[in-house]
Structure 1
Amino acid sequence: MDWKSRIEAAAQRIADHVQVTPVLEARGFGLDVPVQMKLEQMQHTGSFKPRGAFNTLLSGPVPAAGLVAASGGNHGAAVAYAARALGHRARIFVPEMAGPSKIALIRDIGADLTVVPGEYANALEAARAYEAETGAMQIHAYDAPETVAGQGTVLREWEAQGLSADTVLIAVGGGGLIAGALGWLQGARKVVAVEPETSCALNAALAAGAPVDVEVSGIAANSLGARRIGGICFDLARRFGIETVTVPDAAIARAQKMLWRERRVLVEPAGATALAALISGAYRPEPGESVAVLVCGANIAPDPFES
């Protein structure tokens, strides 16, 4: 598959619907080297997810039955936002573990919302049943070519903004974002996958030689809690031989606090996970190696400004 061409086409397709998010070079965080950062948590709905949602909806016809999506929260908000912008009906299924902040965000956007017991996999099962019953169009959170191509526009945009790092660290849940990054970069830069120790579907798949089910838990599970890595991500990760590291919840929480205290950047745990690999030492750059971190989500719970 020609991912570069797909991502280039996606960038043109969604240009009028997504934000160009800022970048910065930051010193601090207890590190000896500066870190280039892409602040994608400033995207519509507080994560990178609208890129894939808009690309999917603009790539072909939408049935009269509308859209359906399963989500840990951020994807559901993105599909709801894109559906409202383009005039489509949307039914979103989220697990209880999505938390009140993300559930409220989806409701506020205006989609029909169903909260199901359990975790993301349970929401996906319910969404598939709804798809079969109604004929609605399923918008997969991470394992569909249009989704991956849309997420790949993050790296395309970042390179146009002057990304110069040797290595890019990216948090991984189901793998749509890092798959898009790999599809765009094509090995031109080192990509490091960062997962929570308690939700590490990519690490487990690479160790097993195929995607496998894993248990998921921890403070980032409502964003990075996919039970099984996407097939597209797995294939690209093997093709380009990426490195994976895992980080404990304590390091993620510490990275969250440091982003706020040192740069006044407020993020959810998933948004701090890539930085956590650096501050915890889970990933140690070689001498002279420049590094970049993708900050991917801001839907913190509880919402600090909610009355």
Structure 2
Amino acid sequence: MPHLRALPPPTPGEIKAAADRISGHVRPVTVVSASPSLSLALEFMQHTGSFKARGAMNFLLAHQEAGTLPAAGITIASGGNAGLACAWAARAHGVRATVFLPENAPPVKVARLRSYDADVRLVGQRYDEARAACADFAETSGALASHAYDHPLIAAGAGTLTAEILDRVPGGLDTIVVSVGGGGLFAGVATAALEAGVGVVAVEPENCRALDAALSAGRVVDVPVSSVAADSLGATRVSSAALEVARRPGVRSVLVPDEAIVEARQRLWTDHRLAVEHAAATAYTYTPEAGERVATVLCGANTPLSDLT
């Protein structure tokens, strides 16, 4: 749900605090070598199948520590990876999670959310209606409203990936590559990477270009979304925090066509037997420059696999 004010990106200190907070609650990332110059961070092996578990756990635990987690629990409007992560983190700590979805949400998503003991509310035919209902519920019930990506605690949780990746790549890195939707993963990972002297490449589908459009306009703007990766990367606007980080030296923004994303996803399966969602394959479309030492974050695997051959 939208915020009334722009929220800042996490600081390096907040990312370190998040790492300490979620240690033992999330799976440390596995990093493998795909070639002498390319490492793959297999974050799709994370709890709930995506990096979102890090931010969700950090958000919940930080509020629990601060005594600001209400008896009404936590609420979010998301049937995707963020909703799953929120419900998972809540169940792990005996907290009530109320997740709002449109009435036409795929039954498989509803079933999986309920498998995490979430109270699933189906409202309207569009996500905007579900978001509005979630906001109303938070106001009337006192539940704590979470967000899929636009919050410093969420981005800080995602940013804990960076130190783990750097610890696991002998010889150091020049660049970390991440896919960008709303910008939570990017804002966190890039903040920590730039602090460590490592560059970042932000990759978006050509027709889900919220960050690239914001950079071009000089401000956050709404964009249409239409891509094979839109289920995960289809944010209509990027967070102001992501835009702020993307303006820093050491960040590059790249757009790729859907055809390249589909081919990259198939290549990950054919060459490495890694089955990921199109959002993860979006980052894998980036080809390292000569001599560039790169780690690519494969961010999630919540996807049908019937089209992989």
- Whether the TM-score (by the shorter chain) exceeds 0.5 is yes
Structure 1 residues 245, 115: closer, same or farther in 2, change over 3 A? farther
What does residue 184 of structure 1 align with?
Answer: 192
For 2:77, the equivalent position in structure 1 comes to 70
Change (3 A) 1:38 1:122: farther
Matched to 1:292, the amino acid is: A
CA contact (8 A) 1:101 1:301 kept: no
Q: Which amino acid aligns with 1:239?
A: R
**Equivalent residue for 1:215?**
224
Q: TM-score, normalised by structure 1?
A: 0.88
Secondary structure of 2:285's partner?
helix
Query: C-alpha displacement at 1:162, in angstroms?
Result: 2.5
Q: 1:116 to 1:154 in 2, by over 3 A?
A: farther
1:17 equivalenced with 2:25 (yes/no): yes
Deviation at 1:118, TM superposition (A): 5.8
- Structure 1 residue 44 and structure 2 residue 52: aligned? no
d(CA) in 1 for partners of 2:104 and 2:273? 27
For 1:18, give the aligned amino acid.
V
**Matched residue, 1:197:** 206
If the length of structure 2 is used for normalisation, what is the TM-score? 0.88
Match of 2:60 in 1: 57
Distance 1:41 1:239, change over 3 A: same
Whether the 8 Å contact between 2:228 and 2:258 is mirrored in structure 1 is: yes
Q: Counterpart of 1:69 in 2: which secondary structure?
A: strand
Matched letter for residue 22 of structure 1: T
Alignment partners' CA distance in 2, 1:80 and 1:145:
19
1:242 is the counterpart of 2:261:
no
Q: C-alpha distance in 1, partners of 2:87/2:305?
A: 21
Contact 1:100 1:302 in 2 (8 A): no
Please, which runs of 5 or more residues in structure 2 have no aligned partner? 1-8
RMSD, matched Cα = 2.2
For 1:198, the aligned partner's letter is: N
4+ residue stretches of structure 1 with deviation over 6 A?
none
Once the two structures are superposed, residues 17-75 of structure 1 have per-residue CA deviations (whole angstroms, 9 ceiling, x without a partner) of 10012110113xxxxx6421100000000000111111111112311111111225000
Q: Number of residues paired by the alignment?
A: 293
User: How many Å separate the matches in 1 of 2:304 and 2:121?
Assistant: 19
Amino acid at match of 1:172: V
Q: Is the 8 A contact 1:194 1:274 kept in 2?
A: yes
The letter for the 2-side match of 1:157 is E
Q: Indicate the larger mover: 221-230 or 95-104.
A: 95-104
Do residues 260 (structure 1) and 289 (structure 2) align? no
Deviations 1:116-150 (Å, cap 9, x if unpaired)? 55665554333222212222101111111111111
SS in 1 for 2:301: coil
Q: Which deviates further from its counterpart, 135-144 or 285-294?
A: 285-294
Q: Give the equivalent residue in structure 1 for 2:236.
A: 227
1:84 to 72, 91, 97: 91
**d(CA) in 2 for partners of 1:57 and 1:86?**
9
- The corresponding residue for 2:139 is 132
Look up the equivalent residue of 1:144 and give its one-letter code: H
The percent identity for this pair of structures is 47
For the structure 1 residues 170 and 70, does the alpha-carbon distance in structure 2 shift closer, same or farther, using more than 3 Å as the test?
same
The worse-fitting range, judged by mean Cα deviation, of 206-215 and 123-132 is: 123-132
Identify which of 6, 11, 24 aligns with 2:14: 6
Measure how far apart 1:275 and its partner are. Answer: 0.5
1:197 Cα deviation after fit:
1.2
Given the alignment of the two structures, is residue 109 of structure 1 paired with residue 112 of structure 2, yes or no?
no
Which residue does 1:292 correspond to in 2? 295
By how many angstroms is 1:208 displaced? 0.3
CA contact (8 A) 1:36 1:165 kept: no
When residues 266 and 126 of structure 1 are mapped into structure 2, their CA distance, relative to the original with a 3 A threshold, is: same
